Structure 1
Amino acid sequence: MLTAMNPVLCLEGRILEGGWRVGSRLPIRGEAGFEGRTGGNFSVGYIAEREGVSAYMKVFDIGRALSSPPAQIATELQRISTAYLHEKELLELCDSARLDKIVKILGAGSIADGAHVPILYLIFEKADGDIRSLLGSLGAVEDAWRLKHLHQVAIGLAQLHQQKVAHQDLKPSNVFVFEEKKMGAKIGDLGRASRLGKTADHDSFQIAGDPNYAPPEQIYGYEAQDWVDRREACDLYHLGSLICFLFTGLSPTTGILLNIGRDFMPHPFGPWQGVYADALPFLTAAYTRFLSELESKLPFWCKDDLLALIRTACDPDVHRRGDPGARVMFGAPIGMDRYISRLDRLSKKAEVHARISARSKNVQAGA
């Protein structure tokens, strides 16, 4: 992806539709400053500005397509165009439905100057950062901060599900925080999202999102037929994984694979050739061991509540994953509303706990 060969990397100063001006480019993989970031394989980021407002600009990387073998270039360019239209349509759906916990689209279009095929871009409201980068820069983050943002992420997932959209790639780097604007956390990057009744290219992938956060059924090549199990239960697993990450830095997917033993690891991790249903007893046992390890790393005051949330949200059995009370209802919903209410209660309890702890420290300091 050398700058001289890739027009996507040379857009600073361009004036776009709607009066946006392309500002500085963000580091890409292999450049200084990229460390700690994720993504960047299929798009390039810029800061765009208009009338004193800064925004984030996502540019779809045609450089990869142009560097493909000649016979594949047209196919690769069509794939990029399809991905752009898919994400743009979903973002416009979210905007029209007023989904306030999904990062808002501010603009979209193409750049063409005759020297190359049009470059496609999307412009979003600019966050203070993603939750992964902020967690590392804020020092000692309080439990109330974590739980407040987890509650907002759960609301965002519920908003998507109400529109029959599943995110499929929820991870720390796709949760954006708007502290300065007092808007809390929002979910971004719908590039791998699925919409009921509309087929996207990545819907046929065994793992649509980041493999590091993939639920067990995807790793073992199983595809549930029901939309709730196939799509919404994947989002719930990712929510449970986010809880684990924010409080412990651990991943249920990694924890399960480390505890299951090499003989039962699927390709490409190990030699297992069996089906998902046959692996489930071993997955469940490995998950139980992981939860035992997790227990000592959670805050003592909310350990049991968090474990209960994680246990059901990341259950290796996709048909059982979710709130048990909701799962027995008609349609077997995952019960996202129940996770929202529990995270809300925990967030409020965390604020009380923080005030009590601060008061106790002040008393001790004055003694």
Structure 2
Amino acid sequence: MEGITVALGDDPLAPGSRIGPYLLGGRLGEGGMGVVLKAEHAVLMRAVALKVMRPEIAADRACLDRFLREARAAAAVNHQNLVAIHDAGEVDGRTFLAFEFVPGGDLDAVLARDGALAPARALELIAGCADGLQALHEAGLVHRDIKPHNIFLDRHGRPKLGDFGLARDAGGADRLTMTGVGMGTPAYMAPEQANGDPGIDVRADIHALGGTLYTLLTRRIPFTGATPWAVVNAVVNDPVPDPRAVRPDLPAEVAAIVARAMAKRREERFQTPSELRVALADALAALGTGGAAVMPAAPAQTLDRTITCDLLAEDKPGSTSDSHPTVKVGPDGEVDAGATMAVAAGDWAGAPAGVMTSVVQTPAPKAAPVVPAERIDGDLTRGLEAPWIALVGDGCHVLLYARRQITLGKLCEAPVDVCLRKHPTTMFRDDCLRISRQHLQLRFDAPTNRLLLGDLGSGNGTLLDGAAMGPNAPQAIEAGGERRLHVAGALTLNLRAHARKGEPPASLGNDAGSVGDCGLDQSFAFDSAVLSRPDNRPGMAYALVLRRLSIGGPGSDLVLPQASGAAAELALWRGRWIWRPGPGAWQPLSDGLVVSAGNKRLKARVGGYDIFQTEG
């Protein structure tokens, strides 16, 4: 099996084809060096990000060495804040690397979707990256290309440093690049890296983390210019940017971290990632309430005026523009300095080597919130801080997700959130084998304020109100009426979306922590979306809790079977779960607390896949 390549049609990398033990899925990115695909190990049924090198590029020994160096760098250290490598090999002339598949996307995508981050969230993300960078440092490695695009979020929102294609031994023993050429991404390079200093060390990566923190706080790149070399000149000579010039409300402690991490002289920076980590922890403690709210996102405008420049050398007699990479710039001459200055082998980000696209984004204004007479009694930090909780009792299994999307399918592991095959009844389990591993996705799209339901290209399809859903063609779900889903002819689900009730409160009087992806502090058009199982398990339900949800008898957002009496209300505030048995003050929802939902008593716990194994 390890030596088998199976192609469907003319494309050897088409979905459904095989490379060794890996069943290929859709493409995640493509560049001059090769392609990155989502794939699944046929035996382990584990999702991976599979990097497949183009055969003609693999024939170039220098490019192949760089490719294999990425594998060795990733394999040299194991840490929760680093993307792990699972496998590397060559099958029928195709060289590949199999990396951990990280489902949360990269920080570039987060910024495009949500806008600049709250200070506390930005500090937390950089702190996690500093932990991963410390592990790299202790392994004797320098990353050399840290930027938002190379930081990924796992399903719990934890950051992971990835893309080790430029990583090298700190002593320079494995150096492959040209002397005097600064490999990396111009806007995030340290001055010594931009100058081609062969002796760069972890302090260059600390500089890049400082630049990344600046971007997370402002949604702007730290240095700009009309050409890559103009950006390099700015990196070397311009003052360190102060994020308070963009966001005057930012605390001085946060701006000071950016300034020190990005100091021009490496001796003036934090000397190790651990030292940076201590400063981040101190700043988080000083914030107390978690800082300002998330700045809103705005649609991106891609501009099309182009210039050409040679990234590696001056123009030579007889050279042609075809040999030069293309750089897209805006009308003000701003280049996307987030693009990587790369050798001719290219990159994996979806564009040929040297192609850079400028994106100009302007945050939209956010309406001032209305302050209702609501409050939290008790210590908010006692509330569950989990993206997934379960309420179990009196014949009910209610799973609540503090996420903007959930995936439903047959798998009982990531990346599926809701397992539709293993559930607390055995009667329908064989029928549920018809459900695909990843069958459906329910997603709230914040920029458009729409709730979307889509079939993920399942084998046996999905009916929505009796009509077949097209594969990978999400449909908008409106608030109000109930929609009926038939999944693979095996399972019926009822879906009901609930519109937002009230405006976001400015405070509940107990505001510890940072603004979360979901919660009462968000101005989403929806409060929740509920999926119930009317036929084969009426007591089981799943809910996407974007802001709040009521549970109980008739009239509740989520109606429990045989329930009566006043409904309980659950919500999220500053990333933690809260609840109340009726009108009045909110209370922290702690682990093991019993929620009274009318005549039902439901015990709260952190969610886990074991809930799907429970027989009932």
**What's the TM-score once normalised by structure 1's chain length?**
0.68
Which secondary structure does the structure 2 equivalent of 1:157 belong to? helix
Match of 1:242 among 202, 209, 212: 212
Q: Is residue 163 of structure 1 aligned with residue 112 of structure 2? A: no
Query: What amino acid does structure 2 have at the position aligned with 1:208?
Result: M
Q: Is residue 342 of structure 1 aligned with residue 279 of structure 2? A: yes
In structure 1, what is the equivalent of residue 27 of structure 2? 25
Q: Which has the higher helix share?
A: 1
In structure 2, what is the equivalent of residue 14 of structure 1? 17
Q: What pairs up with 1:84-233 in 2 under 5 angstroms?
A: 84-94=67-77, 98-112=78-92, 118-127=93-102, 128-138=104-114, 141-178=117-154, 180=155, 182=156, 184-197=158-171, 198-202=173-177, 204=179, 206-219=181-194, 221=195, 223=197, 225=199, 230-233=200-203
> Would you say the 8 A contact 1:8–1:59 is kept in 2?
no
Go from structure 1 to structure 2 and tell me whether the alpha carbon gap of 1:240 and 1:121 turns closer, same or farther (over 3 Å shift).
same
In structure 2, what is the equivalent of residue 43 of structure 1? 34
Query: What amino acid does structure 2 have at the position aligned with 1:245?
Result: T
In structure 2, what is the equivalent of residue 53 of structure 1? 46
Q: Which has the higher strand share?
A: 2
Q: Deviations over 1:9-51 (max 9, x none)?
A: 735333334x3211122353xxxxxxxxxxx342311010134
Go from structure 1 to structure 2 and tell me whether the alpha carbon gap of 1:321 and 1:22 turns closer, same or farther (over 3 Å shift).
farther
Query: What amino acid does structure 2 have at the position aligned with 1:194?
Result: R
* Higher Cα Rg, which structure: 2
CA–CA distance in structure 2, aligned partners of residues 192 and 298 of structure 1: 33
Q: Deviations over 1:306-336 (max 9, x none)?
A: 2211111111223x3413xxxxxxxxxx132
In structure 1, what is the equivalent of residue 455 of structure 2? none
CA–CA distance in structure 2, aligned partners of residues 49 and 251 of structure 1: 35
In structure 2, what is the equivalent of residue 80 of structure 1? 63
> Would you say the 8 A contact 2:117–2:217 is kept in 1?
no
Query: What amino acid does structure 1 have at the position aligned with 2:230?
Result: F
Runs of 5+ in structure 1 lacking a partner?
1-6, 29-39, 67-73, 113-117, 259-264, 324-333
What's the CA shift for 1:185? 0.5
> Would you say the 8 A contact 2:180–2:198 is kept in 1?
no
Give the % identical residues. Answer: 22
CA–CA distance in structure 1, aligned partners of residues 127 and 149 of structure 2: 17
CA–CA distance in structure 2, aligned partners of residues 177 and 171 of structure 1: 13
Go from structure 1 to structure 2 and tell me whether the alpha carbon gap of 1:351 and 1:335 turns closer, same or farther (over 3 Å shift).
same
Go from structure 1 to structure 2 and tell me whether the alpha carbon gap of 1:21 and 1:244 turns closer, same or farther (over 3 Å shift).
same
Q: Deviations over 1:126-155 (max 9, x none)?
A: 111011112222467433322211110111
> Would you say how many aligned residue pairs link Structure 1 and Structure 2?
289
Query: What amino acid does structure 2 have at the position aligned with 1:313?
Result: A
Q: Deviations over 1:176-201 (max 9, x none)?
A: 100x2x36001001110011343231
Larger RCO, structures 1/2 (Cα 8 Å, 6+ apart):
1
Q: Deviations over 1:252-274 (max 9, x none)?
A: 333xx69xxxxxx9x9439x9xx
In structure 1, what is the equivalent of residue 422 of structure 2? none
Query: What amino acid does structure 1 have at the position aligned with 2:269?
Result: G
CA–CA distance in structure 1, aligned partners of residues 261 and 292 of structure 2: 29
CA–CA distance in structure 1, aligned partners of residues 186 and 11 of structure 2: 27
Runs of 5+ in structure 2 lacking a partner?
1-9, 294-368, 376-504, 510-520, 522-583, 585-616
